Amino acid sequence: MRQHLIIDADDTLWENNIYFERAFDRFVAFLAHASLSATQVRDVLDEIERVNARIHGYGSLNFGRNLRQCYERLAERAIADADLEVVVRFAEEILEEPIEVIEGVPDTLAYLSERHELTLFTKGHADEQRLKIDRSGLAGYFVHVAIVREKEAAAYRQLVEERGMEPSRVWMIGNSPKSDVNPALEAGLNAVFVPHARTWVLEKEEIRPGAGRLLTVDRFSDLREHF
C-alpha cells in the first residue's frame, strides 16, 4: 500500500551537526579559558541555545549569536569588536561547507519515491534550509517541501491536514527523538527512528510511546527493507 513518508533533512539526509561541532571546537580554542574544559564551555553554550532557540530559532546565523553571547559571558580578557567578529565568523563558515549527503540516501530516495509519496519536512531558518535543499540535489525526489520554525505535534497535524494524508499511512522518518519521533507519535502518526551518532544534544530525549507505530533502523538505506 502506498504510504506517505515525511522525511527529516539535517542529519537524516545530509550531515549537519558535525559542522556546528567543528565551529564550536574552533570557538573553544579561541576562547582559551584558563579553567573551564570544553565540556564545561559546551554546558554554558547549551543553556544559551535552549533559551535562544525559543526566541530566534535555529540555523548558523542564530548559532553565531549564541557563540557571541557565550564569549561575552566567559571571556577572560577585554572584549573587542574584532574578537566578536572572529567568533561570529566561526558560525558563518558553516554555510560555506559542502553538503555531504549521507551514504545510501540518493539510491534509497530513488527507490522510495517510486513506491510512496515523499514529503521533506525540516525546521530552521527558511532561506538557509532552502539553500541546503537546493545544494543537496535531492529536492526532485519529494512531492512537497515544508520548512517550519519548530517541529511540534501541532505542526505535524497541520501538515497532514493540509496535504490530505491519512494518518494511519503516514510515517515520519528522522534522527531526532525531540523533533521527529516523539511529536509525530504524539500527533497520531507512525515514526521511523534513524539514529545518528552526532545528533545535537538538544535534540536528544527518551522516545515516548504514542498512538502510532514505531520502527527503528540502523541506517537510512535500511528503509528499503520496510517500505
Give me the pLDDT at residue 147, please: 97
The number of distinct structural domains making up the chain is 2
Q: 126 and 156 share a domain? A: yes
Residue 173 sits in the same domain as residue 188: yes
Choosing from 96, 129, 158, the residue where a domain stops is: 96
Please tell me what DSSP assigns to residue 10.
B
Instruction: CATH number of the domain at 220, please.
Output: 3.40.50.1000
Last residue of a domain, one of 96, 124, 151: 96
Beta bridge partners of 172: 6, 191
pLDDT at 6 over 90: yes
Residues 6+ apart with CB under 8 A from 97: 19
CA dihedral 59, 65, 71, 72 (to 10 degrees): -160
Q: Are residues 64 and 82 both part of a single domain?
A: yes
Contact at 8 Å (CB) between 210 and 185?
Answer: yes
pLDDT 10s digits, 172-225: 999 999 999 999 999 999 999 999 999 999 999 999 988 899 999 999 999 999
Same structural domain, 33 and 55? yes
Instruction: Give the CATH number for residue 55.
Output: 1.10.150
User: Are 66 and 153 contained in the same domain?
Assistant: no
Shared domain for 182 and 216, answered yes or no, is yes
Among the candidates 96, 127, 151, a domain finishes at 96
pLDDT band at 128 (very low <50, low <70, confident <90, very high): very high
Distance CA 219, CA 126 (A): 27
Strands (E), 13-128: 117-123
- Burial profile 211-221: b = 16 or more Cβ within 10 angstroms, e = fewer: ebebbebeebb
Supply the range of the domain harboring residue 63. 17-96
pLDDT-derived band at 55, boundaries 50, 70, 90: confident
Residues 48 and 138 in one domain: no
Tell me the three cell numbers of residue 18. 558535525
Alpha-carbon span 98 to 8, nearest angstrom: 19
* Torsion angle (degrees, nearest 10) of CA 216, 211, 160, 1: 60
The mean pLDDT of 120-137, rounded to a whole number, is: 95
Say if residue 9 is in the same domain as residue 41: no
Confidence of residue 110 (pLDDT cuts 50, 70, 90): very high
